[in-house]
């Protein structure tokens, strides 16, 4: 689009001006992150406050109180949903560095789960650590690229 803007700008300045003022990160990507994270974080807060009651409501008396496990896994899965948005955004930009970093994070997560699988809470912490690392990597790699103005229009 940038090439077309350079060619068309002299002839159609009003039509091409939105290309110049386009935000670094497309608004739909930010809205998708917000729409993914806000409900998930709200549910995670509910999981943290009332884990036993939620499990009893959904499954009945068949399961014991999950304690902190429900909130940890809820937060991890919410953050995994945000990772999916970062991944799609990186792929749309042909930003392979994020894909490579994400692959390394997945390998680290699987390794942590294999090494520390004795307790379910340890597995939940490995999931959460990987989800946080993948989101931080997405924000750093993709937002830094956007701030440098290197995003392909």
Q: Write the DSSP assignment of 71-107 as a string of letters.
A: HHHHHHHHHHHHHHHHHHHHHHTT-HHHHHHHHHHHH
Q: Give 1 or 133, the one with higher predicted confidence.
A: 133
Under DSSP, is residue 21 helix (H, G, I), strand (E, B) or coil?
Answer: coil
Phi, psi angles (nearest 5°) of residue 99:
-60, -40
C-alpha radius of gyration, the chain, whole number: 21
Query: Among residues of the chain, what percentage have pLDDT more than 90?
Result: 36
Q: Of 116, 120, 109, 115, nearest to 67 (Cα)?
A: 120
> What's the pLDDT tens digit per position in 57-102?
877 776 776 777 888 999 999 999 999 999 988 888 888 899 999 9
List all residues 6 or more positions away from 5 whose beta carbon is below 8 Å from its beta carbon: 16, 19, 20, 153
The tens digit of pLDDT for each residue in 14-65 reads: 444 544 444 456 667 778 888 888 888 998 899 889 888 888 887 777 677 6
């Amino acid at each position: 689009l940038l090439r077309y803007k350079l060619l068309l700008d002299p002839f159609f300045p009003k039509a091409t001006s939105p290309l110049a003022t386009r935000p670094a990160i497309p608004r739909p990507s930010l809205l998708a992150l917000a729409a993914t994270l806000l409900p998930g974080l709200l549910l995670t807060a509910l999981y943290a406050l009332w884990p036993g009651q939620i499990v009893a409501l959904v499954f009945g008396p068949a399961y014991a109180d999950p304690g902190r496990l429900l909130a940890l896994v809820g937060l991890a899965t919410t953050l995994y949903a945000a990772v999916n948005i970062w991944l799609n955004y990186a792929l749309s930009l042909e930003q392979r560095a994020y894909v490579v970093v994400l692959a390394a994070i997945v390998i680290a997560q699987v390794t942590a789960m294999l090494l520390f699988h004795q307790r379910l809470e340890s597995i939940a912490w490995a999931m959460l650590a990987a989800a946080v690392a993948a989101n931080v990597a997405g924000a750093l790699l993709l937002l830094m690229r956007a701030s440098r103005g290197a995003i392909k229009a």
